[in-house]
């Protein structure tokens, strides 16, 4: 049993984490083995994403008034994956979907262990379905490369057509 002073300290730590986060994902990790959790934490850390396990009651207290809307139901064992705003600024990226994307990618490779319960995105509480949709959006770099390919393709085809016309004229 935790002392009241320890609980207050944990709530303040969670509040500070929530306040400084660009995006936050609530994760149910029921059945996650220690080895798999170590892999998850390492993968998240490599992307600049933090991961904390918390008691639901303490997390609910820390979340009160931190975002618009209603807190999604936090079922099972709950952890938060969060993207600190300073990590986002340090990376020079504007991609606030890194946290849900990394959790989703881990969820795909480890079926049935993790589930996304919801989160906070752009100052609003969102449900698990919305966070999963955000996670499926490709990263900014991937989207830019797809755009470049789409722009290059018609020009390349035009060059081939002009080349073939030039061959027939000779």
Residues 132-150 have pLDDT tens digits of 888 888 888 888 898 888 8
**Three-class secondary structure of residue 87 per DSSP:** helix
Higher pLDDT, 14 or 89: 14
Average pLDDT over residues 35-58: 90
Instruction: Parse the chain into domains and list their residue ranges.
Output: 4-137, 139-170
Task: Give the span between the Cα atoms of 75 and 56, in whole angstroms.
Answer: 8
The CATH architecture assigned to 4-137 reads 2-Layer Sandwich (3.30)
Mean pLDDT, the chain, whole residue set: 85
Residue 91 pLDDT more than 80? no
Residue 37 pLDDT more than 80? yes
Q: How confident is the model at residue 41 (pLDDT cuts 50, 70, 90)?
A: very high
Please tell me the predicted confidence (pLDDT) of residue 170: 66
Task: Give the span between the Cα atoms of 18 and 26, in whole angstroms.
Answer: 12
Please tell me the predicted confidence (pLDDT) of residue 112: 78
**Three-class secondary structure of residue 1 per DSSP:** coil
Task: Give the span between the Cα atoms of 98 and 103, in whole angstroms.
Answer: 9
Please tell me the predicted confidence (pLDDT) of residue 26: 92
CB burial of residue 61 (10 Å; 0-12, 13-18, 19+): middle
């Amino acid at each position: 049993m935790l002392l009241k002073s320890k609980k207050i300290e944990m709530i303040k730590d969670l509040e500070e984490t929530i306040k400084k986060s660009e995006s936050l994902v609530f994760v149910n990790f029921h059945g996650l083995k220690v080895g798999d959790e170590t892999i998850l934490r390492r993968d998240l850390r490599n992307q600049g994403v933090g991961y904390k396990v918390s008691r639901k009651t303490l997390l609910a207290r820390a979340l009160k008034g931190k975002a618009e809307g209603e807190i999604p139901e936090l079922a099972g064992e709950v952890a938060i994956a969060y993207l600190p705003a300073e990590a986002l600024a340090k990376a020079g990226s504007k991609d606030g979907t890194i946290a849900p994307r990394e959790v989703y990618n881990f969820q795909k490779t480890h079926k049935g262990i993790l589930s996304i319960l919801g989160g906070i995105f752009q100052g609003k509480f969102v449900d698990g379905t919305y966070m999963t949709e955000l996670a499926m959006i490709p990263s900014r770099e991937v989207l830019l490369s797809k755009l470049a390919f789409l722009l290059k393709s018609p020009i390349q085809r035009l060059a081939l057509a002009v080349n073939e016309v030039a061959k027939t004229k000779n």
